[in-house]
Amino acid sequence: MKNGWFFESLFPDAKLGLKIKKNLSSTRSKFQKIRFLESQHLGRFLILDDIIQTSTWDEFVYHEMLTHIPLFSHPAPKDVLVIGGGDGGVLREVLKHRTVKKVTLVEIDKQVINQSQRYLPGICRNSFQSKKLELIIGDGAEFVKDKLKDYDVAIVDSPDPIGPGKTLFQDKFYHNLSNLLRQNGIMVRQSGSSFFQKKELQDNYARVGKFFKYSAVYTAAVPTYIGGLFTFIFCSSGINPGKINLKTLKKRFTQLKSKTRYYNPEIHSACFQLPNYIKEILR
Ligand code: SAM
């Protein structure tokens, strides 16, 4: 931190700087450094090992797109698995779906959950108190090891492949995820910035292709994640995301318990359309 500014450490030669209004908390768990800060104009931020994870300013874009694309692509998602997601944003969005009966959230660091509830109540709200929640504190890569056809949707809300997040980017992790999904099962994950993390996108797109019949990239602009369009990977062995028509999406969307600020059926159809430079990265 330099004279009242925070600069992210994810990229060596481009940094997002935040003018700090107030340092809310800075602690170290056994996994990582956990920081919460209030910026001058962009709301509150969760920062892990000096890498920005989420912010009250634009979290709705990321959490809605990581959640509603798979859940509205599935005909009737009942059991949902979330890996990571300790800030509670994905969990909040999953619980808006009437068809969902159980959400298993596997988070390695309980401190992130505890402190997010204290410093980011606007993100998690009361989602960690939901009766539909099965909370597992542990490594997501370990949890998926011996599961078979237990889930309809798996959402990987991991940090970047650094520190404890590394295990969530490996072939065996994707192989185990493909085994734990039921017929028509869907897995999605964040796959980084299209300009600054090309290798991460390319590498993960190639890996998932070994374990799923369909895999597709979709995008959204998330200002906090610098480097142009932010990317997500959709995988399934039963659902081809390009074949879901707008009328079906509109019908399913009426079921949602409460409003969204970014996601809508038209965005759902459009977000899989890719600019040529991203098609090039995936070729
Ligand atoms: N939106 C962020 C992004 O795109 O980078 C991710 C946010 S979420 C806070 C990431 C969570 O994953 C953190 O709470 C972290 O503790 C958790 N995590 C990291 N490695 C993990 C692992 N191996 N198993 C389960 N959770 C993990």
Q: Looking at residue 49, which CATH number applies to its domain?
A: 2.30.140.10
**Which residues, including other chains, have CB under 8 Å from residue 238's CB and lie 6 or more apart?**
183, 184, 185, 213
Say whether both 13 and 65 belong to one domain: no
Whose CA is closest to atom 21 on ligand 1?
165
Say whether both 43 and 114 belong to one domain: no
DSSP state of 164: G
Provide the CB-side half-sphere exposure for 221 (13 A, CA): 2
Domain end (from 18, 37, 54): 54
Say whether both 50 and 95 belong to one domain: no
Say whether both 36 and 138 belong to one domain: no
Distance of CA 63 to the CA centre of its chain: 6
Ligand 1 atom with the smallest distance to the CA of 63 is: 1
> pTM to 2 decimals?
0.97
Strand partners, 104: 81, 134
Whose CA is closest to atom 6 on ligand 1?
159
Cα 177 from Cα 151, distance rounded (Å): 9
Pairing status of strand 44-48 against strand 102-107:
unpaired
Of the residues 127, 158, 172, which should be mutated to test ligand 1's pocket, given the most ligand atoms within 8 Å of the CB?
A: 158
Phi-psi region of 43 (alpha: psi -120 to 50; beta: other; left: phi over 0): left
Say whether both 47 and 63 belong to one domain: no
Say whether both 228 and 201 belong to one domain: yes
Domain end (from 38, 54, 70): 54
CA 189-283-15 angle, to 5 degrees, is 55
Mean pLDDT by 10 residues, the chain (283 residues): 87 94 98 97 96 97 98 98 98 98 98 98 97 98 95 96 90 97 97 96 97 98 96 97 96 95 98 98 95
157 included as an active-site residue:
yes
What's the CA-to-centroid distance between 124 and ligand 1, angstroms?
15
The sign one gets for the Cα dihedral 134, 135, 138, 139 is: positive
CATH assignment of the domain containing 237: 3.40.50.150
Q: Which of 49, 58, 109, 157 is catalytic?
A: 157
Say whether both 28 and 137 belong to one domain: no
Identify whether the C-beta of residue 154 lies closer than 8 Å to the C-beta of residue 177: yes
The count of structural domains within the chain is 2
Say whether both 46 and 74 belong to one domain: no
- Per-residue confidence (pLDDT) for residue 162, from 0 to 100: 84
Can you give the residue range of the structural domain that contains 65?
A: 59-282
Ligand 1 atom with the smallest distance to the CA of 192 is: 4
Say whether both 223 and 270 belong to one domain: yes
Sheet holding 79-84, edge to edge: 133-137, 102-107, 79-84, 151-157, 181-193, 230-236, 214-220
Identify the residues whose C-beta falls under 6 Å from ligand 1. 53-54, 62, 83-87, 106-109, 112, 139-141, 157-160, 164-165, 167-168, 190
Residue 114 Cα distances to 107, 128, 129, angstroms: 11, 10, 12
- Per-residue confidence (pLDDT) for residue 163, from 0 to 100: 86
Q: Look at residue 191 and give its three-state secondary structure.
A: strand
What's the CA-to-centroid distance between 159 and ligand 1, angstroms?
4
Say whether both 44 and 174 belong to one domain: no
Say whether both 160 and 196 belong to one domain: yes
Helix (H) / strand (E) element for 181: namely strand 181-193
Structure tokens that stand for 229 in this block? 């369009």
- Per-residue confidence (pLDDT) for residue 3, from 0 to 100: 80
Cα 158 from Cα 274, distance rounded (Å): 23
Say whether both 119 and 22 belong to one domain: no
Residue 166 Cα distances to 51, 88, 125, 161, 170, angstroms: 14, 21, 28, 4, 8
Domain end (from 22, 38, 54): 54
